[in-house]
Amino acid sequence: MTTDAKILSALRENADGVSGAQLAEQLKISRAAIWSRIEELRSLGYEIQAGPHFGYRLVGEPDALHADDLLARLGKTKIIGRDIRVFEQTTSTNDVIEKLARDGVKEGVVVFAESQTKGRGRLGRKWISPNRKGLWFSILLRPDMRPQETTQLTVASATALRRAIVSETKLQPEIKWPNDILIGGKKVAGILTELSAELDKVRHVILGIGVDVNLDAAELSADLKKIATSLKIESSEKISRAELATAILRELDFDYGRICAGKFSAVADEWEEHCTTIGRNVTVQIGDRKIRGRAESLDDDGALLLRTEHGHIERIIGGDVALEK
């Protein structure tokens, strides 16, 4: 943890205030150094009061993501979030991670961007990522897996996202196979899993996650308004992006741990419990092909098993699922 992250942690743990002398001793740096770090944090928008009786007290936080702050809030995780980087603007956070992957960076690194100029969905579709309104981030993973097993990671991302949203809001999100989180039938988050692999072994996986947090209805185009929403629109409350971000990373770390320990079936059970796709009649569009049927369950790799109109089981690993009324 960096010095700034340690200072923020100490300030949060001591809501009534903590003295400069205590901080200096805890962090093993001089009181002058503490003072200069406090000034730096203030310049980033943290409102830190100083007084002779209470020392330093954190009274306000900026609506911005800071790597040190996220690390301090997250605490210790096994893999995901050991290294966090925040950019003001990127093309796509998946591109930044791709570069880090090629440079040999360890798995678990997370890149957030306050805005993306070329945020993307699957099949090159556009993902709107307005400044400071959502969480637009990507994670590098290097799992010991076959390429066809990586759908497990999309499934795990969906369960982790759902749990984090439940814990940070009063909302009840649903999961739609394979990569959507919906509230009241509208999309509030999407997952883009990209991988680099040899024939039967994954080199790395990039999990790209977009969550519409504090967007107002006016920020969604007329077309998007029909299919998308945000946590703020649904709950009528502004949500702390930093809190939600760390809750998501913690839950993801847990689910990635479950998968690496060979416990995907536990993740799949949870997924099926909250998935609106299972048990429904659906139409799956894969390129030019349309398949209709009843979504029955997930298989061991996270693929969707569809009983088609003709009565046989079709295994679906991609495509767009439309739920029939």
CB of 168 to ligand BT5, least distance (A): 18
CB of 147 to ligand BT5, least distance (A): 19
CB of 41 to ligand BT5, least distance (A): 27
Does residue 12 contact residue 32 with C-beta atoms inside 8 Å? Answer: no
CB of 107 to ligand BT5, least distance (A): 17
Q: Give the C-alpha separation, 51 to 68, whole Å.
A: 24
Closer to ligand BT5 at the Cβ: 9 or 92? 92
In degrees, rounded to 5, the angle at the alpha carbon of residue 166 between the alpha carbons of residues 175 and 301 is: 35
Closer to ligand BT5 at the Cβ: 53 or 126? 126
Within 8 A by CB and 6+ apart from 78, the residues are 253, 256, 257
Closer to ligand BT5 at the Cβ: 141 or 209? 209
Chain residues binding ligand BT5 by CB under 6 A are 92-94, 116, 119-122, 125-129, 136-138, 179, 187, 190-192, 208-210, 212, 224, 228
| CA distances (Å), origin 167, targets 14, 58, 63, 228, 247 | 23, 24, 20, 21, 8
- Closest to 304 measured CA to CA, from 174, 178, 150: 178
Closer to ligand BT5 at the Cβ: 114 or 270? 114
Does residue 193 contact residue 153 with C-beta atoms inside 8 Å? Answer: yes
CB of 22 to ligand BT5, least distance (A): 39
Within 8 A by CB and 6+ apart from 304, the residues are 177, 178, 277, 284, 295, 298, 315, 316, 317, 321
Closer to ligand BT5 at the Cβ: 77 or 138? 138
Which residue lies nearest ligand BT5, judged by its C-beta?
190
CB of 272 to ligand BT5, least distance (A): 20
Closer to ligand BT5 at the Cβ: 58 or 80? 80
Q: Give the C-alpha separation, 286 to 290, whole Å.
A: 6
